[in-house]
Amino acid sequence: MSLNAPLGVVKRHIQRADRAATDELAKYGVATVHEAQGRIGLLQSYMRPIYPGAQVSGTAVTVLLHPGDNWMLHVVAEQIQPGDIVVAALSSPNTDGFFGDLLATSFKARGARGLIIDGGCRDIKTLKEMDFPVWSRAISAKGTIKATLGSVNIPVVCAGMIVNPGDAIVADDDGVVVVNAADVRKVADAASAREANEGEKRAKLAAGVLGLDMYNFRQPLEKLGLKYID
């Protein structure tokens, strides 16, 4: 949860990250984007896709939920614009099934590309058939109530990482990474350069060149005292 989180507030107008750059991030994937922006922005590794293979990017609309209460997911639905990814944080740890196929139908109709939720998700099979990807802390069918106000489009902490509304989100089989709205163009370019660069390295390594030589590691390792014995 964000410390400053005003409860009971829905922010309607947020500054979304540049669309073209955000959309471009999907193809680089989570690991490359994470490296390209200086090894920051990763959500904790317990966030896993409910089915393998999805790889998406989009702009974050955020929502803060309370344990066992999914009411605000209906409130956030109205704020979704095409190209968004919903990021749901919890005020304390809970694995109930906050999200299922009905909400997914609504989110998809609004143009959402996926959901990142630091809680549980259900209707896994149907979500896969619908091709609506979710990254969650747990899979659980446990029903939730509609009783307490949270907030929409405030900064949240989701799985250990700050997400501001409008930030870019990238998610794939490796997990989830967030990119500052202001940095997406720069990060997309860095990711593109990195990928080009990796292609060359990959070819060398595939041909049998060792990282020890390609990266010039032998000298610093020797300097630190690495010894080869028989």
Q: Within 110-169, which residues bind a copy of itself (CB under 8 A)? A: 110, 120, 122-125, 138-143, 145-149, 155, 157, 160-164, 167
Cβ nearer to a copy of itself, comparing 78 with 131: 78
What is the smallest separation between the CB atom of 189 and a copy of itself, expressed in angstroms? 19
Candidate ranges 5-13, 15-23, 185-193; the one touching a copy of itself (CB under 8 A): 5-13
Q: How far apart are CA 32 and CA 36, in angstroms?
A: 6
Tokens of 123: 């209707």
15 touches a copy of itself (CB under 8 A) = no
At CA 51, angle to CA 108 and CA 58, rounded to 5? Answer: 45
Residues touching a copy of itself: how many (CB under 8 A)?
A: 105
Binding-site member from 22, 69, 133, 166 for a copy of itself (CB under 8 A):
69
Contact 57, 26 (CB under 8 A): yes
What is the smallest separation between the CB atom of 177 and a copy of itself, expressed in angstroms? 7
Which backbone phi and psi does 50 adopt, to 5 degrees?
-75, -15
Judging by DSSP bridges, how do beta strands 161-163 and 56-65 pair with one another?
A: unpaired
Binders of a copy of itself among 71-110, rule CB under 8 A?
Answer: 71, 74-75, 77-78, 91-97, 100-103, 105-106, 108-110
185 touches a copy of itself (CB under 8 A) = no
Q: How far apart are CA 158 and CA 220, in angstroms?
A: 39
Cβ nearer to a copy of itself, comparing 19 with 139: 139
Tokens of 29: 């994937």
Q: How far apart are CA 19 and CA 23, in angstroms?
A: 6
